Amino acid sequence: GPNLLASPADALRGRETDLTGDGRPADSDSLGIGEAAVDYNGFATDADIDAALAAIDAAGRTLDASAASIGINAAILEVREDNARERANSLQAGVDALRNEDRLEAAAEARAAETRDLLAIENQRIAGRSQLLIVDLLNQVV
pLDDT in tens, the chain (142 residues): 556 556 566 665 656 556 566 667 777 777 888 887 788 888 999 999 999 999 999 999 988 888 888 888 888 888 888 999 999 999 998 878 776 666 667 777 888 899 999 999 998 888 888 888 888 888 887 6
End-to-end CA distance of the chain: 27
Q: What is the CA radius of gyration of the chain?
A: 25
Rounded CA separation 22/2 (Å): 10
3-state secondary structure of 1: coil
| 22: β partners | 11
